[in-house]
Structure 1
Amino acid sequence: MRKLNLLFLLIFLLTVIYCRSESETAVETVVENTVKTGKISGRVMSQNGNKPIGGASVFTFDDKYKIYHTTSDASGNFTMDAPAGNHTIYIQTGDGSNFRTEISATIKENETLSLNSAQTKLNQVAKIAYVKGSFDKIEDIIQNLGYTATEITNADLADILTIAQYDIIFLNCGSRKYSTNASLYPIIDNNLAIFVANGGSIYASDWDVSYLVGGNDNTNNCALVGGFVPDSKLCSKNTGSSGIVAASVNNTGLSSALGFNTLNIDYDMGAWQKIINYDANYWEVLVKDAGSNDALMLRTNQFTATGLPNTPIGNASNSTFTTVCITLPGNIQISVSVPQIAVPYLVALGATVGSCTGTTNSGYIYYTTFHNHATGNIGNAAVILQYVILNL
């Protein structure tokens, strides 16, 4: 009997020791898997260092491809938790395909690494073109940020091989009338459709809505001949009158990047394109008339069309980066560009290839009813247009 009791006691002691050993091992494992972090801070600036960039995505990954992410405020400032060790810090606007910067950094546990202004300048990856206009000079805003753009003509727009070299095309108000040969319009419209369908982005202001929906200098009716955006998606008429319009910013990301959500827009011409109707499932309203709720600024990346050729656009074919959609805590989705080598790991964690919104291949179309160079001084609207440039 005594031997039996000793046997039970021995079994009990071995069980306690085994369980304690297992428990201690589990605790040690949790400690080993805890990612040690520090912080990084800095200020995102334009390439020439003259303008702070609000709304830029700043992010990095740990060794298991968990993302650490923040956005710069209206003054370009940011602070972000980051995994300790040697990592690449990414700074991007839009989906990162046109403007981005990569920084190699060593983050130390419980310390803050302050990045200097030379490191946090937002670089231009895209090739940008513009068509000269009668009333606008978006190229001045581009150059004031330290970026470069090449002037092209309507004859160039009629050559798909020429425009396929670029990632972004800006259409200044009044530029369509610079085409002396109206027979070019159908060719231009088809080429712009090919350009956007294959990932190129365009910006048009005021009268240049005619590139989108048809017409010559401007549009005085709905459903005109020409253009490439379906008539059911947008109608704009040249019926706006001159004066100051109190406007509101209708997009949270845009207002955060700008640091304001109301502004006065000076419509300084005798007539301007007024948006009569639009498909709300196709277009996102970024700025609207605070009184009438009329849309003043729209964007979409929903363009699709059948029968268009697959054409490599801009730097896409040479890029080692791929756009992916990542879901952050709180079910917030962001579109960013990452090195192709990281894509399988991110997909395994739930990311999807392509932008979080729109069609897989479509570039962006931005349209503003207001000018970008009204008598050389456009106030807060200039900051909006800086955002447009960097987020195409």
Structure 2
Amino acid sequence: MKKQLLILLLSVLTLVSCSDESNNSSGQKTGTLKGKVTTINTHKAVGGALVFAFDDEKNIYYAYSNAAGDFELNAPIGDRTLYIQTGDGSNFRTNINVVVQENQTQQLEESSLRLDQVARIAYVSGSYDSIEEIIASLGYETESLTYAQLSDYSIVSQYDIIFLNCGSIASSNSISNNPTATTNLAQFVTNGGSLYASDWAIAYLIGGTNRTTACNASGGFIPDSTLCSLGNGSATTLNALITNSALANAIGLTTLDIEYDLASWQKINSVDESFWEVLVRDSTTNEALMIKTNNFYDQSLAGSRVGNSQNSDWITICHVPDENGSSPITITIEASALQDHLDHGDALGSCSAVGTSGTIYYTTFHNHANQNIGNSQFILEHVILNL
């Protein structure tokens, strides 16, 4: 559906999250690295990127880029590898070699800090949604999948990320009558693949026909107890609150108006917040408008990892910072360095995902073929880079 996102209130957080958050309790000598993270071809600023380096003991020094893409990192001196990643680092990342000098500040060339696409990305075309246009606007590449191809796991499993556009299930089709596609998507996520679905495409997740009109509909693979959505949204403007601080810092917004200007869209009626994280809410009713999870995992479908072979020399781990009380951080590293990290106390896999599970995002709003999407573009760009 066509929905235009208009700003209600801007919270420009240009200086938030670019400061160093690393540990230096060991007395390690350091220098400062500064730079700007951008997309690979279009050179748009990337907010919320994790920028990090290690000392010789595999202690991590890290910072996040702010909404303008800027970061400032206090890093251990000497020859270091500087890593830049979004999400868990498995789909978008880059790294460069740097020489950190004691008590010196070094401004890094922007051209060396552009975020590379590692993932192989696909989308299923929709009637009301075209996320592939936003992906292209960032300078990244996608491939088209048909609805029918979702029934062939040998095709589905080639990808790291699949975008399910609103309206991609035609009225002549029914996900409730396509258990093969449903199982394939469940297997895809279980084995590390990430999904994005918008509006009517929630039917892929929880069942229904070309959209969902009742709770506990047949089909889908997400447990019905975790999510209910009804296609009874009407033309309205909702006051939206970005409840996830990392998302707010990354895009430089905390509140906005979301205009749903056509007559029918999927409302989230109930959501289990122990399974899903709510990222954006209606500030008046507290209803969820955007959710995320990496808690789906079906042990019976566990098998070979999905995705691009470029990932074979890299591995995702849960890194334990040296700083007391600091939360573990999910990163992706060279497989050759794995043993050193295990010796440091790190663990295989994501810090938050269940098993090898990938990430699922769902938004009640989306972009449109006419590109009249307002500031939803900032949120959707963040989703793309963090799957």
TM score, norm. by length of structure 2:
0.89
Map Cα deviations across residues 21-73 of structure 1 (whole Å, 9 max, x no partner): xxxxxxxxxxxx85322111100001114310000000011122111100001
Q: Aligned to 1:126, which of 111, 119, 124? A: 119
For residues 294-373 of structure 1, what are the structure 2 equivalents within 5 Å? 294-315=287-308, 318-328=311-321, 329=323, 330-373=325-368
**Could you say which residue in structure 1 is the equivalent of 2:258?**
265
d(CA) in 2 for partners of 1:274 and 1:109?
A: 54
Map Cα deviations across residues 96-152 of structure 1 (whole Å, 9 max, x no partner): 000000101111122122111110000000000000000011001000000000011
**Could you say which residue in structure 2 is the equivalent of 1:69?**
62
**Could you say which residue in structure 1 is the equivalent of 2:284?**
291
Q: Aligned to 1:162, which of 139, 155, 172? A: 155
**Could you say which residue in structure 2 is the equivalent of 1:276?**
269
Structure 2 vs 1, CA of residues 111 and 134 (structure 1 numbering), >3 Å: closer, same or farther? same
Contact 2:213/2:231 (<8 A) preserved: yes
Q: Deviation of residue 202 (structure 1)? A: 0.4
Q: Aligned to 1:80, which of 73, 89, 114? A: 73
Q: Is residue 379 of structure 2 the alignment partner of residue 384 of structure 1?
A: yes
Counterpart of 1:216, as a letter, is T
d(CA) in 2 for partners of 1:289 and 1:309?
A: 36
> Is there any run of 5+ residues in structure 2 with no aligned partner, and where?
1-25
d(CA) in 1 for partners of 2:279 and 2:76?
A: 35
d(CA) in 2 for partners of 1:380 and 1:86?
A: 41
Counterpart of 1:345, as a letter, is D
Counterpart of 1:266, as a letter, is E
Contact 1:189/1:228 (<8 A) preserved: yes
Contact 1:155/1:184 (<8 A) preserved: no
Structure 1 window deviating more from structure 2 (344-353 vs 93-102): it is 344-353
Contact 1:101/1:120 (<8 A) preserved: yes
d(CA) in 2 for partners of 1:296 and 1:318?
A: 32
Q: Deviation of residue 309 (structure 1)? A: 4.9
Contact 1:49/1:117 (<8 A) preserved: no
d(CA) in 1 for partners of 2:255 and 2:309?
A: 36
SS of equivalent to 1:324: strand
Q: Compute the RMSD of aligned alpha carbons.
A: 1.8
SS of equivalent to 1:39: strand
**Could you say which residue in structure 2 is the equivalent of 1:28?**
none
Structure 2 vs 1, CA of residues 180 and 291 (structure 1 numbering), >3 Å: closer, same or farther? closer
Structure 2 vs 1, CA of residues 302 and 382 (structure 1 numbering), >3 Å: closer, same or farther? same
Q: Is residue 223 of structure 2 the alignment partner of residue 235 of structure 1?
A: no
Contact 2:47/2:65 (<8 A) preserved: yes
Contact 1:301/1:362 (<8 A) preserved: yes
Q: Is residue 46 of structure 2 the alignment partner of residue 53 of structure 1?
A: yes
Structure 2 vs 1, CA of residues 218 and 178 (structure 1 numbering), >3 Å: closer, same or farther? closer
SS of equivalent to 1:217: coil
d(CA) in 2 for partners of 1:108 and 1:353?
A: 32
Map Cα deviations across residues 312-371 of structure 1 (whole Å, 9 max, x no partner): 300268521111122343422321111123222223333222111120211111100112
d(CA) in 2 for partners of 1:312 and 1:306?
A: 13
**Could you say which residue in structure 2 is the equivalent of 1:90?**
83
Of Structure 1 and Structure 2, the greater helix share is in 1
Q: Could you tell me the percent identity over the aligned residues? A: 48
d(CA) in 1 for partners of 2:380 and 2:334?
A: 29
**Could you say which residue in structure 1 is the equivalent of 2:216?**
223
**Could you say which residue in structure 2 is the equivalent of 1:203?**
196
Contact 1:95/1:337 (<8 A) preserved: yes
SS of equivalent to 2:56: coil
Per chain length, whose mean CA-contact separation is higher, i.e. which structure has more relative contact order (CA < 8 Å, sep 6+)? 2
d(CA) in 2 for partners of 1:183 and 1:378?
A: 30
Q: Aligned to 1:189, which of 166, 169, 182? A: 182
Counterpart of 1:92, as a letter, is Q
> Is there any run of 5+ residues in structure 1 with no aligned partner, and where?
1-32
Contact 2:31/2:77 (<8 A) preserved: yes
**Could you say which residue in structure 2 is the equivalent of 1:9?**
none
Structure 2 vs 1, CA of residues 114 and 169 (structure 1 numbering), >3 Å: closer, same or farther? same
**Could you say which residue in structure 1 is the equivalent of 2:102?**
109
d(CA) in 1 for partners of 2:307 and 2:167?
A: 25
d(CA) in 2 for partners of 1:159 and 1:242?
A: 37
SS of equivalent to 1:297: strand
**Could you say which residue in structure 2 is the equivalent of 1:12?**
none
d(CA) in 1 for partners of 2:177 and 2:96?
A: 45
Larger Rg: 1
**Could you say which residue in structure 1 is the equivalent of 2:129?**
136
Contact 2:239/2:283 (<8 A) preserved: yes
* Equivalent residues, number: 360
Contact 2:118/2:311 (<8 A) preserved: no
Contact 1:154/1:178 (<8 A) preserved: no
